[in-house]
Amino acid sequence: MTNQPLIISSWPQAIMHIDADAFFASCEQAIHPELKGRPVITGKERGIVAAASYEAKARGVSRGVRLSDVKKLCPDAVILPSDYETYSLFSVRMFEIVRRFSPDVEEYSIDEAFVDLTGLRRTYHGSYEMIAEKMRATIKQELGITVSAGVSLSKVLAKIGSKHRKPDGLTMIPGRDIHLFLGSLPVEKVWGIGPNTASYLNKHGIRTALDFARKDEEFVTKYLSKPYREIWHELNGRSVYPVTTETKSAYQSISKAKTFTPPSDDEAFVFAQLSKNLENACIKARRYHLAANRLIVFLRQQDYRSTGAELKLSRPTAFPSELYTLLREGFRELYLPATPYRQTGVVLSGLVAESSVQYGLFEDTAKIAKMAKVYESIDELSRKYGKHAVQHGASLPTKTQAQHEGERGDVPVRKGDLFKGENKRQRLGLPMLHIKV
């Protein structure tokens, strides 16, 4: 029985998942050909590994490792500052290439996407495998990076496929072969199943993805909540999660955090970093016409110990000026004098639509309306002249030093080589040029 396929029809639909290989490090190797084949690490500005090339991974380097330990594992590693602007440009180009093949593309993250290939075999006069291979080859030829991909009947199966042959691999999982890929896959490795759920499933004798997929519907309905019932369907080749092409516009919370080097025990500077986080979070909330009911603030010390506080607002808002009193209270509760801090952050939670906010009987609605006009003007200036063209006074001390100074804070190439019409604050969203490999 265990050798029987889970589904008879091989391709009732075809969903592809593409996942760029060691994306940040690969981008660096693409724009610096002399780094190809060498162990490349990004994250110099943070003091920990943000990304590692496969050459570095082979030497035992993994994400989150301190750079001081990297030197022991891989003395010849090339350690670079993260250049997120360049990585974003690569991401835009990669998704543009994917959309040449299919209009149904879901940008899942900066380096991942789901693509609906269903019905395209006639258009390209070939198999789904041929379409996927051509897409991967085009990305490699034009951007100089590789992607791994999986093609199957559902998103969950496609994601299993993309992890199966990394790096630079393609795995096809037709309906008749699903059981071959699930039999040796631990259930905790299935997308969407965390350690707690995996432990619960283990108690019911479910160790592998195949064990889970072969459970009957009565068991799944009785013991599992809706998200895990959906995963069960997806593992059985029944597509439940559609490829969503719309840009995300709904958020349950918005978080903004920044690491700065060197660490600082200057109270005004650390609070300024926190204040800037608040401004950034509120900018995003206003962009989507949202307001927050709660504010969470946290500080991280140089030894990585973190403290946080949650503060309830009297009324939902996305205006920093209405939040600074609370922000200062939370900061005073957490801040320890003469203690070096390396990161601050805020979370706006309990988000609601701005249009649904109700004002209290004794609130000055005219003052609130004027404040809304002020922030509309600030947002317009930011669109024209760059983010933080206008800043609150509490955030100004952040300008006394670069976000990352010293040896660990080398300026990425994209920020040093400005094009005509750019300045240090605002750069153009230029597409990447074709890179020959």
Catalytic positions: 112
Q: Exposure of 365 by Cβ count < 10 A (0-12 exposed, 13-18 middle, 19+ buried)? A: exposed
What is the torsional sign of CA 415, 416, 421, 425?
A: positive
Question: For 162-171, which contacts have Cβ atoms below 8 Å and span 24 or more sequence positions?
Answer: 162/17, 162/18, 162/19, 163/19, 163/189, 166/19, 166/21, 167/21, 167/22, 167/54, 168/21, 168/136, 168/140, 170/129, 170/132, 170/133, 170/136
DSSP strand pairing (40-42 vs 51-52): antiparallel
Q: Exposure of 277 by Cβ count < 10 A (0-12 exposed, 13-18 middle, 19+ buried)? A: buried
Question: Is residue 176 within 8 Å of residue 5, measured between CB atoms?
Answer: yes
Token output for 347: 């979370």
End-to-end CA gap in the chain: 49
In whole angstroms, give the CA distance from residue 165 to residue 161.
8
